[in-house]
Amino acid sequence: SQTIHQWPATLVQPVGSPLSLECTVEGTSNPNLYWYRQAAGRGLQLLFYSVGIGQISSEVPQNLSASRPQDRQFILSSKKLLLSDSGFYLCAWSVVDNEQFFGPGTRLTVL
């Protein structure tokens, strides 16, 4: 069966520090991968998606970047965090036209 992992589960970082969040998927090949952010009291915003290794599409301009160095690995990064980067970050995967499956999320607090 397929599983999706995210780490860390929680993270507290100072403003201006770098960020690296990792997402890995097991049990499937060539998935579409997605990063979402859920800000406090708000819905989900799609940040990035990837349809293959090295292929990243950005949905909104922001302080973040994404990379996909391996088929089932998706990384969200920042060189310098802002207060507004705080939120709950969710990774998801899907294949073809099936539904998306979400990871457990990472709660990021920028102080």
Partner 1 sequence: GNSVTQMEGPVTLSEEAFLTINCTYTATGYPSLFWYVQYPGEGLQLLLKATKADDKGSNKGFEATYRKETTSFHLEKGSVQVSDSAVYFCALRSAGGTSYGKLTFGQGTILTVHP
Minimum Å gap between C-beta 107 and partner 1 is 8
Take residue 9 and report the two structure tokens written for it.
């589960």
Binding-residue pattern over the window 47 to 76 for partner 1, x denoting contact by CB under 8 A: --x-x-----x-x-----------------
Q: How many residues bind partner 1 (CB under 8 A)?
A: 25
Is 3 near partner 1 (CB under 8 A)? no
Q: How many of the other CB atoms lie within 10 Å of CB of 59?
A: 13
Residues 6+ away with beta carbon under 8 Å from 98: none
- Beta pairing partners, 69: none
Is 32 near partner 1 (CB under 8 A)? yes
